[in-house]
């Protein structure tokens, strides 16, 4: 079974090549509030960035506005990436996982955040 057929069987409404919603929005909110089931949410405009390497936490700790070092796997926080003048390059959510860090950059600014981070990787053991 292909993904579109599976999603449709699960009650998804597909629009523009993505999931618009899963049935009734009130039911989705109730499922989210109960917390006993997974809830799929379309993330249009969000750019996923995976960060690996031995220095990943210390590198991002120096590049992002919120705490990164010392966070245990499973932790997450909202964060900003700022330029040298303190202007926002991008905003997103950082997820700490066992073997990597995952940064979900909002508002389609992922390419700008990625380019900025890549410029700052010098001697760090980091792969973006």
The 3-class SS string of the chain reads CCHHHHHHHCCEEEECCEEEEECCHHHHHHHHHHCCCCCCCCCCCCEEEEEECCCHHHHHHHHECCCCCCCCCCCEEEEEEECCCCCEEEEEEEEECCCCEEEEECCCCHHHHHHHHHHHCCCCCCEC
Residues 94-111 have pLDDT tens digits of 989 889 999 989 888 999
41 belongs to a structural domain: no
**Domain residues for 61?**
47-120
pLDDT at 33: 64
pTM (2 d.p.)? 0.67
Share of residues in the chain with pLDDT > 90 (%)? 47
Query: For the chain, how many structural domains are there in total?
Result: 2
Say if residue 26 is in the same domain as residue 60: no
State the pLDDT at residue 107.
84
Query: Does position 36 have pLDDT exceeding 80, yes or no?
Result: no
The residue-averaged pLDDT of 50-55 equals 95
Q: Are residues 65 and 24 located together in one domain of the fold?
A: no
């Amino acid at each position: 079974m292909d993904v579109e057929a599976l999603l449709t069987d699960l009650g998804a409404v597909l629009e523009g090549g993505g999931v618009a919603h899963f049935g009734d929005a009130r039911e989705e909110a109730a499922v989210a509030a109960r917390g006993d089931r997974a809830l799929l949410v379309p993330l249009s405009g969000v750019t996923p960035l995976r960060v690996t390497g031995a220095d990943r936490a210390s590198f991002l700790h120096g590049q992002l506005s919120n705490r990164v070092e010392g966070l245990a796997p499973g932790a997450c926080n909202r964060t900003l990436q700022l330029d040298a003048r303190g202007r926002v390059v991008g905003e997103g959510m950082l997820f700490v996982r066992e073997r990597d860090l995952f940064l979900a950059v909002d508002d389609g600014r992922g390419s700008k955040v990625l380019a900025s981070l890549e410029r700052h990787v010098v001697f760090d053991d980091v792969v973006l």
